Amino acid sequence: MTGWRLWVSVVIFGVLAGAGLAWFTNSQTRQADRPVAGISEGDFQPGFELANMNGEPVSDGDFAGRAMLVNFWATWCAPCRREMPLLAAVSKKHEHELAVIGIAMDDAGRVREFVDELGIDYTILVGMNDVLETQRAWGNSAGALPYTVLVDSEGKIRWLHLGEVGEDQLDAELRAVVGN
């Protein structure tokens, strides 16, 4: 290839790569605070029945009459790991009116080690395919993590969030459901 053809090829490649990156970044930003597909705010939560770290079944019915903050996560997910201390603090602060439920798509042994290391004491459920199916039913068909859903005490979905949860944002959403 002659010099000018190589230069034109590099310029065209650069323009196309830049356009692709801009499109990807814009699409990620637009989807950061909403689920991929499925349920919407105001719908009734679809329910779940999954195993805890001891292999015992736990269902949404075990939390009837309480608001639920359902968080899908994994030990290998860096944003998931970063938000766990915040979720633990929220669980302690609102222990009587809010059930924080972590649903890990991971190996139970790795989850137990991680939860013990951080001192997490809210409900943790684990699984693989069953967690993926539950996550889809709860509106996240892509399986991206972390994914958080806030359900009021009547079982209605009040907030859906794809991505890492921030403290101020979570506090604002919780105030509408459980108060201070």
Residue type, 63: F
Q: Tens digit of pLDDT per residue, the chain (180 long)?
A: 565 554 545 445 444 444 443 333 333 333 444 444 678 999 999 999 999 999 999 999 999 999 999 999 999 999 999 999 999 999 999 999 999 999 999 999 999 999 999 999 999 999 999 999 999 999 998 889 999 999 999 999 999 999 999 999 999 999 999 986
Q: Tell me if 102 sits within 8 A of 122, measured CB to CB.
A: yes
CA quadruple 71, 113, 90, 94: dihedral, nearest 10: 100
In whole angstroms, give the CA distance from residue 162 to residue 29: 11
pLDDT of residue 117: 92
Closest CA to 139 of 153, 160, 158, 155: 160
What pTM did the predictor assign? 0.79
Residue 163 CB neighbour total at 10 angstroms: 17
pLDDT of residue 51: 97
